[in-house]
Structures are given as structure tokens and as C-alpha cells.
């Protein structure tokens, strides 16, 4: 039997032959309209879905896919995949945690450097024929706070500490005894101990709105925020207010609440750098994530354990037995 995979991800076409060479039949549906049409037309024969966190897979879509057995999520986040619906159907869910950590960490540091050194404004000035002497802080010796010390957070910490001589603090769900970095018990405490704060935690209910007005005020008027995680971790209205009132120095954002829509208020600010959710995109990371999807699919359909399973909530059926 050849398993049919519905591919909802829009950025991996060059690497899909990896899955085709493993014998999988692919249905590509990268736009909302194509997605709805594919589910309506081919739902009865779709065995697997390949998606990413912001694209997700919703309960009503899972219900419309009676043959669905496994959902593979590219990247670490799976916030819009209905895990309860998957659990109730006995559907396996996997992710790609850690595969794109280097790419995301590189982008985080690039954003931080561009923000703190004000590279976009300097570039724009030179293009206008101006030659301003913009005085900006150095990164060396500064205090970096990382919210979420997983694979991405660790990669950022190593770059900051080893490459820029920065001291690193972090806030995590749990204190880690295996790292040399300082632990802060709350996001507010972390912001207060930081010159620069990078958000690297997964999205979802557990991390929603961890960064709010209180945290931003603790970061202060000379502090900078970088978010390469999920927009849901930050209260956007509080961030815009802090930026407009210069209660923080600036922000660099790769993620937004309603992508690809970006609030006009953010676009109008001069102390913000915006990129279109591309931190995890690199040839190396994309190839690695697709290869991991292939390994998970091959293992699953061969009856072996998948490599990167997501722990699912207890199914409604199990709870009622």
C-alpha cells in the first residue's frame, strides 16, 4: 500500500522528492482554498498530513479525514493542531523539534544585531545619500535573557555567550541543572535581569501572553525584545504601546498574531524590525525537517515507533470508560 500524504506546508517543494522517493503519494495544498478542496475531494484516501504549527489541523478537518493515521508537524510548534481530536481518533502526531534550531538561532542573533545596531536605519540613510554617525550600543558584555531554553534557546545562548561575551539568563518551565546559565523564576524577573530579551519558547496555551506590560516595563526603556517563537507569547497591544511610548528601546519580530497580516501600528514604528516568519527557513533546516518527516512516516507505516512523538491528551473515549 502507498500512503497518501496531504502537504499543507508552502515552503518545502524543493525537498518533497525525499518523500516521493520513499514511496509516498503527495497531494499539495499550500493555500486555504486548495486545502479545503483537497480535503473535500480526497479526504477518504488521505493517510497522513504534513503541516506546521501556524497552519495546524483542526478538529473539523480531522473529522473529514476518515483514513488519517498520522499528523507530521514541521518544526517544534504544533499550537494549531487539535491534539484532543487526534487523541480521540488514535492518530499519532509528530514534530520536528530541534531540526531547525541553528537556523532560528542565527536569525535571532541577526535580528538582535540589526535592532541594537540600528542597521536598517543606517542602510536607508546611506541609500538616500546621507552619512549619519549613529551611536548605538555594543552587544559585548550585555545581559541576554532567553525565554525558553530548549534546542533553539540553547543555540542562541551558545552564540551569545561564546561569540559575543554576553552573560545569559533564562526562564523555563523547569530549572535546568545541566547548563551554566542563570535561572530566573518568572518572565518579569528575567526581563529585569536583561538588556536584551529573546522569546524562544513554544506557542500554545501554556505560554500564551507570558510577555505583557509588566514584563516589558521590567525590560525598560533601554531594553530590546526579539521574538522568533510565536506571537501568542507576547501581548501585541502591550508591545505596541511600549514601543510607541518608548518604554522599551525596540523590538524585532519574526512572528505575528494573524500572519501574513501585520498590524499597521507596528509597520509605522521606527524602533521595530519585521521579518515574515522566516527564522526557521534555510536549505539545511528545510532538508533536515523533511528528512525527519520521512523517517517518522516510514517508521509509522512499518509498524515501528516514530522518532519524535508528541504526547497527546487522554482521549475522551478513555476518560469515559
Say whether 34 is catalytic: no
Q: HSE of 101 in the Cβ direction (CA atoms, 13 Å)? A: 18
Q: Could you check whether the bond before residue 260 is cis, i.e. omega within 30 degrees of 0?
A: yes
DSSP-derived secondary structure for 258-293 = BTTB--HHHHT-SSEEE--S-TT--HHHHHHHHHHH
Of 225, 1, 20, 227, which Cα lies nearest the Cα of 104? 227
* Marked catalytic residue, from 230, 246, 247, 284: 230
* Marked catalytic residue, from 35, 52, 171, 277: 277
Say whether 284 is catalytic: no
Give, for 28, the enclosing helix (H) or strand (E).
strand 25-28
Alpha carbons 89 and 86: distance in angstroms, whole number: 5
For residue 100, the 8-state DSSP code is: T
β 143-147/92-94 pair status? unpaired
For residue 307, the 8-state DSSP code is: S
* Marked catalytic residue, from 10, 244, 259, 284: 259
Active site residues: 230, 259, 277
Amino acid at each position: 500500500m502507498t500512503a497518501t500524504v496531504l502537504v499543507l506546508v508552502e515552503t518545502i517543494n524543493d525537498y518533497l522528492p525525499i518523500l516521493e522517493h520513499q514511496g509516498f503519494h503527495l497531494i499539495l495544498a499550500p493555500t486555504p482554498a486548495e486545502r479545503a478542496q483537497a480535503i473535500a475531494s480526497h479526504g477518504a484516501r488521505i493517510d497522513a498530513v504534513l503541516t506546521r504549527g501556524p497552519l495546524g489541523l483542526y478538529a473539523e478537518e480531522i473529522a473529514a479525514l476518515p483514513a488519517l493515521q498520522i499528523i507530521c508537524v514541521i518544526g517544534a510548534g504544533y499550537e494549531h493542531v487539535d491534539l484532543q481530536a487526534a487523541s480521540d481518533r488514535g492518530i499519532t502526531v509528530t514534530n520536528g523539534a530541534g531540526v531547525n534550531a541553528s537556523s532560528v538561532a542565527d536569525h535571532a542573533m541577526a535580528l538582535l544585531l540589526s535592532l541594537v545596531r540600528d542597521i536598517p536605519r543606517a542602510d536607508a540613510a546611506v541609500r538616500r545619500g546621507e552619512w549619519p554617525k549613529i551611536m548605538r550600543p555594543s552587544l559585548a558584555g550585555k545581559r541576554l535573557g532567553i525565554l525558553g531554553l530548549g534546542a533553539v534557546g540553547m543555540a542562541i545562548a551558545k552564540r551569545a555567550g561564546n561569540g559575543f561575551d554576553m552573560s545569559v539568563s533564562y526562564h523555563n518551565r523547569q530549572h535546568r541543572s545541566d547548563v551554566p546559565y542563570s535561572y530566573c523564576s518568572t518572565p518579569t524577573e528575567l526581563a529585569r535581569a536583561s538588556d536584551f530579551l529573546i522569546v524562544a519558547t513554544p506557542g500554545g496555551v501554556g505560554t500564551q501572553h507570558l510577555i505583557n506590560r509588566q514584563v516589558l516595563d521590567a525590560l525598560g526603556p533601554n531594553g530590546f525584545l526579539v521574538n522568533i517563537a510565536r506571537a501568542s507569547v507576547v501581548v501585541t497591544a502591550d508591545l505596541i504601546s511600549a514601543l510607541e511610548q518608548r518604554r522599551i528601546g525596540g523590538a524585532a519580530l519574526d512572528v505575528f498574531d494573524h500572519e501574513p497580516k501585520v498590524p499597521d501600528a507596528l509597520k509605522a514604528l521606527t524602533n521595530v524590525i519585521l521579518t515574515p516568519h522566516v527564522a526557521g527557513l534555510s536549505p539545511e533546516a528545510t532538508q533536515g525537517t523533511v528528512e525527519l518527516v520521512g523517517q517518522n512516516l516510514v517508521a509509522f507505516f512499518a509498524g515501528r515507533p516514530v522518532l519524535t512523538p508528541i504526547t497527546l491528551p487522554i482521549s475522551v473515549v478513555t476518560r469515559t470508560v
